[in-house]
């Protein structure tokens, strides 16, 4: 009797091992196949009727006739970059770089091209090179609005708040618009002046809705994030207004999904991001929402994410460090690995979001020095972030 039980158990374990082996083999070596049906769809691309794509195609054709036309190349590359940023699609960022290839390595390219090159470098997370280009442009043309705006963004991302604030001030001096106000509010809100920043930006967004919906969306997202960090429930409305201005904005969708996850509203995340799982950042939020709501597809989402991170790693790319750290921590329960990724990420960028994942991973991995590092950073910047402060209060110092 007992032996029979043992035999059954052995058989079950053998089956589990076989199944596990099968799953890993399937992930490791995808097997090429001949699709049985000619109508089987293998890949979706933007339809050729897409107006953005049509413009790109037309301009590429003209550029092929006039390969040295700098203005045309800059125009085309800017269009490619904007799809890349809007769809969070690194291929289009690569096409933009390809369009600029004849001038890409020039030490001193003309100003419009150099600003665009900085924006491409920013999208590729090469922040030091982007800063070099922007500073060089501003040395030639101190009133270049875009250069100041991008420099403010890059500086804030890398934690150089003083440089970011200077860029915002210059922006306000040249053209005191919503962009300048949002720029300053974003920096001030993470350096000890969250309340004034919020009030100023709230007035500005209400008074002068921007004609440019992407600018309006950007400003409202900053407003929402300030409210979120202060624990103000108005954040929800601001996020919704931002998405009303620009419904497909990946940054805002990601930020709103994170807010909803914090608010324990996974069902709203699933609704918000339905059908948007081709973007890695959004797939991660879908996976977290599936886990929080106990949905059965949580595991499949996690496997898909693991495959994408592995593909990026195979080519030596590091665009995902923050998200990958969160993935390892929350979905794979590997605090040491998460901490290592969060640490690498911290070397590249230092926003409140980067601080948060670093602190979460450090707390889970029980790494006291890292916890102290974030505590010191938070104290030094004067960051007002309720979640972060609550976590620090609970973390062992």
Partner 1 sequence: MKALLAALLVLLLAAPPAAAHLSSDSYLRIDVSDRGIAGQWDIALRDLDVAVGIDANGDGDITWGEVKAKRREIEAYAFSHLTVSGGGGDCALSPTAELADQHADGGYAVLRFDIRCPAKPSALSLRYRLLFDLDPTHRGLLTVNDHGAAHTAILGPDRPGYSVAFGAGQTAGFLSFLRLGIEHIVGGRDHLLFLAVLLMPALGHVRRRGIWASLLEAGTLLSLFTAAHAVTVTLAALRIIEVPARISEAAIAFSIAVTAADNIRPFLGNRRGVIAFGFGLIHGLGFASALGPLALRGWPLVAALVGFNTGIELVQLTLALIAFAVMFLVTGRGIRMPRLPAGALLPLTSLVIFGFSAYWFIDRSFLLVTLP
For partner 1, the closer CB: 226 or 283? 283
Alpha carbon of residue 194 to chain centroid: 23
| Per CB under 8 A, 21 contacts partner 1 | no
Count of residues engaged in binding partner 1, rule: CB under 8 A: 54
| Per CB under 8 A, 393 contacts partner 1 | no
Cβ neighbors of 314 (< 8 A, separation 6 or more) are none
Return the residue of 73, 74, 76, 93 that touches partner 1, per CB under 8 A. Answer: 93
DSSP summary character for residue 279: S
- In the complex, minimum distance from the CB of residue 361 to partner 1, in angstroms, rounded to a whole number: 13
Contact 235, 227 (CB under 8 A): yes
- In the complex, minimum distance from the CB of residue 38 to partner 1, in angstroms, rounded to a whole number: 3
The dihedral formed by the CA atoms of 277, 282, 283 and 286, expressed in degrees to the nearest 10: -100
Residue found under tokens 């919704």: 240
- Quick one: tokens of 273? 């991001």
Site string for partner 1, 342-371 (x = CB under 8 A): ---------------------x--xxx---
Among positions 272-311, residues that touch partner 1 (CB under 8 A) are 277-280, 283, 304, 307-308, 310-311
Q: Give alpha helix (H) positions in 109-247.
A: 111-123, 127-140, 145-157, 161-174, 178-189, 194-207, 213-229, 234-245
Neighbours of 191 (CB within 10 A): 18
For partner 1, the closer CB: 35 or 294? 35
| Per CB under 8 A, 98 contacts partner 1 | yes
Site string for partner 1, 318-347 (x = CB under 8 A): -x----------------x-----------
Q: Give alpha helix (H) positions in 208-334.
A: 213-229, 234-245, 250-262, 266-272, 280-292, 298-314, 321-326
Return the residue of 1, 3, 43, 64 that touches partner 1, per CB under 8 A. Answer: 43
- In the complex, minimum distance from the CB of residue 249 to partner 1, in angstroms, rounded to a whole number: 15
| Per CB under 8 A, 129 contacts partner 1 | no
Picking from 185, 195, 251, 248, the residue whose alpha carbon sits closest to that of residue 218 is 251
For partner 1, the closer CB: 114 or 238? 114
| Per CB under 8 A, 83 contacts partner 1 | no
Cβ neighbors of 24 (< 8 A, separation 6 or more) are none
- Quick one: tokens of 338? 């998460």
For partner 1, the closer CB: 129 or 145? 129
**Crossing angle (nearest 10°) for helices 70-86 and 51-65:** 150
Return the residue of 61, 64, 314, 393 that touches partner 1, per CB under 8 A. Answer: 314
- In the complex, minimum distance from the CB of residue 21 to partner 1, in angstroms, rounded to a whole number: 13
| Per CB under 8 A, 122 contacts partner 1 | no
CA pair distance 304, 312, nearest whole angstrom:
13
Site string for partner 1, 229-268 (x = CB under 8 A): ----------------------------------------
Q: Considering all CA atoms of the chain, what is the largest pairwise distance in Å, rounded to the nearest integer?
A: 88
Phi and psi, residue 88, nearest 5°: 50, 50
Contact 209, 182 (CB under 8 A): no
- In the complex, minimum distance from the CB of residue 218 to partner 1, in angstroms, rounded to a whole number: 21
Give contact residues for partner 1 (rule: CB under 8 A): 30-35, 37-49, 87-91, 93-95, 97-98, 101, 104, 124, 277-280, 283, 304, 307-308, 310-312, 314-317, 319, 336, 363, 366-368, 396
């Amino acid at each position: 009797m007992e032996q029979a039980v043992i035999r059954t158990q052995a058989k079950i374990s053998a089956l589990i091992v076989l199944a596990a082996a099968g799953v890993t083999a399937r992930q490791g070596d995808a097997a090429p196949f001949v699709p049985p049906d000619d109508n089987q769809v293998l890949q979706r691309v933007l339809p050729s009727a897409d107006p953005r794509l049509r413009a790109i195609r037309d301009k590429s054709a003209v550029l092929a006739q006039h390969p040295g036309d700098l203005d045309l190349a800059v125009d085309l590359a800017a269009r490619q970059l904007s799809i890349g940023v809007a769809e969070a699609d690194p291929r289009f960022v690569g096409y933009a770089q390809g369009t600029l290839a004849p001038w890409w390595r020039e030490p001193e390219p003309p100003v419009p091209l150099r600003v665009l090159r900085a924006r491409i470098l920013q999208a590729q997370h090469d922040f030091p090179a982007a800063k070099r280009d922007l500073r060089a442009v501003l040395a030639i043309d101190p009133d270049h609005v875009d250069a100041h705006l991008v420099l403010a963004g890059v500086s804030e991302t890398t934690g150089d708040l003083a440089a970011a604030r200077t860029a915002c001030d210059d922006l306000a001096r040249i053209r005191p618009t919503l962009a300048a106000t949002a720029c300053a509010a974003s920096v001030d809100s993470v350096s000890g002046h969250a309340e004034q920043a919020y009030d100023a930006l709230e007035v500005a967004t209400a008074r002068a809705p921007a004609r440019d919906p992407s600018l309006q969306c950007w400003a409202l997202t900053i407003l929402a994030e300030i409210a979120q960090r202060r624990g103000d429930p108005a954040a929800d409305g601001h996020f919704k207004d931002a998405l009303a201005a620009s419904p497909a904005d990946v940054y805002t969708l990601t930020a709103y999904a994170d807010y909803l996850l914090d608010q324990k509203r996974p069902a709203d995340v699933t609704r918000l991001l339905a059908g948007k799982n081709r973007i890695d950042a959004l797939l991660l939020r879908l996976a977290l929402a599936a886990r929080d709501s106990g949905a059965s597809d949580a595991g499949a989402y996690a496997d898909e994410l693991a495959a994408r991170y592995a593909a990026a790693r195979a080519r030596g790319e590091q665009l995902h460090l923050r998200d990958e750290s969160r993935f390892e921590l929350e979905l794979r329960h590997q605090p040491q690995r998460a901490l290592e990724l969060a640490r690498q990420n911290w070397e590249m960028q230092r926003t409140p979001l980067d601080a948060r994942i670093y602190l979460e991973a450090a707390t889970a991995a029980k790494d006291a020095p890292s916890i102290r590092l974030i505590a010191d950073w938070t104290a030094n910047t004067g960051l007002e972030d309720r979640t972060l402060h609550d976590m620090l209060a609970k973390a062992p110092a």
